[in-house]
Amino acid sequence: SQQGEEDPQALSIQEGENATMNCSYKTSINNLQWYRQNSGRGLVHLILIRSNEREKHSGRLRVTLDTSKKSSSLLITASRAADTASYFCATWGGSEKLVFGKGMKLTVNP
């Protein structure tokens, strides 16, 4: 069963613009992770934020977590055509597995 739901399901922007993706989840978590998947390829881990953290940065990525609202957002600044991919949020609640959302497609037009 899906835990996280990404929103919007698809986003199309121009190069240089910022892209914001949101993730909502249902149960309590230990951490939330974001992954990127290029078409037909494996998922690549981008960033992990723990439940006691509110914001984290990694290069052009900024992730926030609001545990009271059970939501997270991923911001990609100054987007590039190479950022075109599907993005997934995944939650870990202390059991053995990560639970992934259905993903959202980001298209960055040159």
Maximal C-alpha separation, the chain: 42
Annotate the chain with three-state secondary structure.
CCCCEEECCEEEEECCCCEEEEEECCCCCCEEEEEEECCCCCEEEEEEEECCCCEEEECCEEEEEECCCCEEEEEECCCCHHHCEEEEEEEECCCCCCEECCCEEEEEEC
Smallest distance from other proteins to CB 41, Å: 6
Distance CA 41, CA 71 (A): 27
Question: For residues 20-79, which are near other proteins according to CB under 8 A?
Answer: 30-31, 33, 35, 40-45, 48
Q: How many residues bind other proteins (CB under 8 A)?
A: 23
Question: For residues 77-96, which are near other proteins according to CB under 8 A?
Answer: 88, 92, 95-96
Q: Which is nearer to other proteins, 48 or 75 (CB)?
A: 48
The correct pick among 99, 104, 106, 108 for binding other proteins (CB under 8 A) is 99
Determine, following the binding rule CB under 8 A, whether residue 97 of this chain makes contact with other proteins. Answer: yes
Q: Which is nearer to other proteins, 42 or 110 (CB)?
A: 42
Binding site for other proteins (CB under 8 A): 2, 30-31, 33, 35, 40-45, 48, 88, 92, 95-103
